Chain A
Amino acid sequence: MMRFFFASLLLFASLGSIGARQEIQGNIIKNPGKPLVAVPDFRASGAAASYVGAFNSTVASDLQSSPLINFVPKTMYPLQAPQQPQDLISGVASPSRGAYTPQGKRLSDWSLPPVSTNYLGMGYGAESHGNFVVFGWFYSTSPTMATLQQAQVFGKVYTASLDQNGAVDAGHRFAADILAQFGGKSLVGTRIVFVSNRSGAKEIWIMNWDGTDQRQLTRYGSISTFPSASPDGRIVAFTTYAAGYPAIQMFSLDTGRKLPFYNQRASMNAFVTFTPDSKRIVFSSTAAGGPAQLYMTNVDGSGLHRVSSSGAIEVEAKINPKTGADLVDVSGRSGLPQIYQMNLEGADVQRLSAGTGEATNPAWSPDGEHIAFAWTRGFEPGNYNIFIMDVTSRQATQLTANEGRNENPSWAPDGAHIVYASMRGRQSQIWVMNADGTGKHPLTDRGSNEKPVWVYAEQ
């Protein structure tokens, strides 16, 4: 599924490269061959009735924003939607007995026009022992399924707290289970670490992937910024001026405490990237004097050895999460900052970005075949937009345009979502979008928020 998705992106990129500048608008990359999914609104009784609306809108929004399926608009649905398997009538209605109006109780009412969906989700909510409980089912409407039992893809119970947040959480989980049928990795449980000044100083914050539960991790009252996360999802590294100079600090998400780290004696140590096993890191340091260069150490700062040896500034190294053998970084070796690729010995250096404008903020896709990055192509200095590039073909596709300054992309574990910082006016906010540029929506609105990084444990 992913491969097909990127193949269509590439096709678009090569078509668009004829024009001066590519811009993705609306649903240009929508694949008409994607499966159709319909989910009529769930109903609920008693105390659960107040929150089922939040459940329904969460499910609809997650499915609408997914590049893996097409969500059939609710206006097409029959009036009588089944709420549980017992509501379903097997077989296809025979139109011979007078004019037949689809009532919605047969799967064929959903598989035939006007709905024409391939899949149907249904269920209901209830209050049980003070919890918000949802019973959800997912059916294939294919006429090749001989029985209703065969047609059922899954049936599950979702238990959450009896409030708005609980209903939203249950909605995300049901939508994630549906998307998992089409190759979607669930984002539930993943988090986003970012920088916010809302407390008065730049501090490191963390939130759930959907923007809920925003929490402050550091309280230095200094400048703490440039976060990154270990692939095991357990460590956040960042750069802080708390001790007077930009220095690296390691923070354990397990214990909520800082971890020991030996900073090189240097005017700056910053921008940590982890090896896939989370045991070693590469970062930028001026330890040898001259422009900042890339160094590798163990995760505690011991065992230093030098990676890059250019006479130019080398920052923002990102180790390939799949191979662990190569990295991309931002280098000034050809003038204005550009994205380069090299192996972990600093050899086999190649420029990936086109060499025009400034290209920064590279971020690997989970499959290690693409990078997202920020580029000023076609715009004045400082007017960055998010692009993605196939590292092998070096074809770049533009995902944002004319929506302010967009920087610091970071991929979700599903490879289908990208979180980034968008400055529209004087404040930056964290936004998320699909990896085809659709479905953009903000996750933050308090203070200025920047440098998001998706945190999750690699499976």
Chain B
Amino acid sequence: MRKNRASLTSAAVLLLVFAAGCHKKAPPPTPAAPPSAPPPAAAPVINYFNAEPSSISSGQPSSLRWSVDNATNVQIDNGIGQVSPNGRRAVYPTATTTYHMTASGAGGNVSADATVTVGTPPPAEAPPPRNTETVADILAHRVQDIHFDYDKSDVRQQDQPVLQGDADALKTIFQMDPNFVVTIEGHCDERGSAEYNLGLGDRRASATKDALVSLGVPGDKLKTISYGKERPICTDASEDCYARNRRAHFSAGQ
């Protein structure tokens, strides 16, 4: 229970960071009180999430390891994306990096951090002020891919927070530059036929566009294109790679 409360708090902090990042409505959502009824049995639990070694010199590998129970979706930020509930991954940070894991399931969301320290800890630095961020920066770093199940093109319930974050970031982009156009690319994993996947990628791009428009993003700024399975971001024959390739990706439109 202690663990749960701690994770609820950190989820709230996460929401706060999101909201603050978008120049939006000042009041952060208040953390929901723990339910008085018995909590759902299937609340996600992060058994561990750590980096080994936790201190490296630049260019050296560190291994992220994690184990999560009762989660239907496990994401790691910093460009890693969706991962399996139990796993490890080598990372090569060139500066001290805190990896942020979010596990979500029917019983709610939990998150945890693992930090890899590179060289001597750098002097504490204030994050760059938002107004130096270009629309391209926002598109590259704050608009995240939406992922899909095999042969499916509907945005999954557990991806709603990502979608909301994308909607907020896109609205910021279009406020900053009214002439900017974003292309939503639909992609598929390598298993289906290239032909069917062209149709499926089109559905994924268009379903993502529809979902963003329903969150208030102007539809005339969003184009869609299907790449089917012609532009994979990884090519190994693993469930993890397939899941990464089943995505809607955002790029600067022409």
Residue from the set A239, A267, A270, A358 with the largest chain B CB neighbour count within 10 Å = A267
Partner of B192, one of A226, A244, A382: A382
A332 to chain B: closest CB distance in Å?
7
Contact code string A357-375 (vs B, CB < 8 Å = 1, else 0): 0101100000000000010
Complex contact A267–B202 (CB within 8 A): yes
B143 CB–A CB distance under 8 Å: no
Q: Report B132-175 residues with CB < 8 Å from chain A CB.
A: 150-151
Complex contact B151–A246 (CB within 8 A): no
- Report the bound CA distance from A202 to B231 in whole Å: 11
Interface stretch, picked from A16-24, A121-129, A284-292, is: A284-292
Complex contact B196–A313 (CB within 8 A): yes
B82 to chain A: closest CB distance in Å?
18
Partner of A382, one of B190, B198, B200: B190
B235 CB–A CB distance under 8 Å: yes
With A246-B226, A407-B193 known to touch, is A267 a contact of B205 (CB < 8 Å)?
yes
With A246-B198, A284-B199, A315-B199 known to touch, is A374 a contact of B193 (CB < 8 Å)?
yes
Complex contact A223–B230 (CB within 8 A): yes
Complex contact A270–B198 (CB within 8 A): yes
B109 CB–A CB distance under 8 Å: no
Complex contact A315–B225 (CB within 8 A): no
A335 cross-chain contacts in B, Cβ below 8 A: 151
Complex contact A313–B193 (CB within 8 A): no
B235 cross-chain contacts in A, Cβ below 8 A: 426
Complex contact B202–A360 (CB within 8 A): no
A237 to chain B: closest CB distance in Å?
14
Contact code string B219-232 (vs A, CB < 8 Å = 1, else 0): 00000111100100
With A223-B230, A246-B226, A267-B224 known to touch, is A315 a contact of B196 (CB < 8 Å)?
yes
With A202-B230, A267-B226 known to touch, is A313 a contact of B190 (CB < 8 Å)?
no
Q: Report B167-210 residues with CB < 8 Å from chain A CB.
A: 190-196, 198-200, 202-203, 205-206
With A225-B194, A313-B203 known to touch, is A267 a contact of B150 (CB < 8 Å)?
no
B200 cross-chain contacts in A, Cβ below 8 A: 313, 332
- Report the bound CA distance from A228 to B225 in whole Å: 22
Q: Report A13-40 residues with CB < 8 Å from chain B CB.
A: none
Complex contact A330–B190 (CB within 8 A): no
B30 CB–A CB distance under 8 Å: no
- Report the bound CA distance from A286 to B199 in whole Å: 9
With A292-B202, A313-B200 known to touch, is A361 a contact of B230 (CB < 8 Å)?
no
Closest B residue to A381 by beta carbon equals B191
- Report the bound CA distance from A451 to B198 in whole Å: 14
Q: Report A248-301 residues with CB < 8 Å from chain B CB.
A: 267-268, 270-271, 284, 286, 289, 291-292
A88 CB–B CB distance under 8 Å: no
Q: How large is the interface on B (under 10, 10 to 19, 20 to 34, 35 or more residues)?
A: 20 to 34
A337 CB–B CB distance under 8 Å: yes
With A202-B230, A245-B225 known to touch, is A337 a contact of B193 (CB < 8 Å)?
yes
Q: Report A304-329 residues with CB < 8 Å from chain B CB.
A: 313-316
B230 cross-chain contacts in A, Cβ below 8 A: 202, 223, 225
Partner of A291, one of B192, B203, B227: B203
Complex contact A337–B198 (CB within 8 A): no
- Report the bound CA distance from A358 to B196 in whole Å: 10
Contact code string A321-364 (vs B, CB < 8 Å = 1, else 0): 00000000010100111000000000000000000001011000
Closest A residue to B228 by beta carbon equals A246
Binding site secondary structure of chain B: mixed
With A223-B230, A267-B225, A426-B235 known to touch, is A286 a contact of B202 (CB < 8 Å)?
yes
With A225-B230, A267-B225, A313-B203 known to touch, is A330 a contact of B198 (CB < 8 Å)?
no
B254 CB–A CB distance under 8 Å: yes
Residue from the set B151, B192, B194, B200 with the largest chain A CB neighbour count within 10 Å = B194
Closest A residue to B236 by beta carbon equals A426
- Report the bound CA distance from A223 to B231 in whole Å: 10
B192 cross-chain contacts in A, Cβ below 8 A: 337, 358, 360, 381-382
With A202-B230, A267-B224, A267-B225 known to touch, is A360 a contact of B195 (CB < 8 Å)?
yes
Complex contact B150–A244 (CB within 8 A): no
A384 cross-chain contacts in B, Cβ below 8 A: 193
Q: Report A206-239 residues with CB < 8 Å from chain B CB.
A: 223, 225-226, 239
A223 cross-chain contacts in B, Cβ below 8 A: 227, 230
With A267-B225, A336-B151 known to touch, is A313 a contact of B194 (CB < 8 Å)?
no
- Report the bound CA distance from A268 to B175 in whole Å: 30
- Report the bound CA distance from A361 to B197 in whole Å: 12
A383 to chain B: closest CB distance in Å?
8
- Report the bound CA distance from A374 to B193 in whole Å: 9
A315 cross-chain contacts in B, Cβ below 8 A: 195-196, 198-199
- Report the bound CA distance from A358 to B191 in whole Å: 10
- Report the bound CA distance from A246 to B224 in whole Å: 11
A interface with B by C-beta (< 8 Å): 202, 223, 225-226, 239, 244-246, 267-268, 270-271, 284, 286, 289, 291-292, 313-316, 330, 332, 335-337, 358, 360-361, 374, 381-382, 384, 407, 426, 450-451
- Given A286-B206, A358-B192, A360-B192, 20 additional A-B pairs, CB 8 A: A244-B254, A268-B198, A268-B199, A270-B198, A286-B202, A289-B206, A291-B203, A313-B196, A314-B199, A315-B198, A315-B199, A316-B193, A316-B195, A316-B196, A330-B195, A337-B151, A337-B192, A360-B195, A381-B191, A384-B193
Pairs A-B, 7 closest by C-beta atoms = A382-B191, A313-B199, A360-B193, A292-B199, A381-B191, A337-B196, A316-B195
User: 30 A-B contacts, Cβ less than 8 Å apart?
Assistant: A202-B230, A223-B227, A225-B194, A226-B195, A245-B225, A246-B226, A267-B205, A267-B206, A267-B226, A268-B199, A286-B202, A289-B206, A291-B199, A291-B202, A292-B202, A315-B196, A316-B193, A316-B195, A330-B195, A332-B196, A332-B200, A335-B151, A336-B151, A337-B151, A337-B193, A358-B192, A358-B196, A360-B192, A361-B193, A426-B235
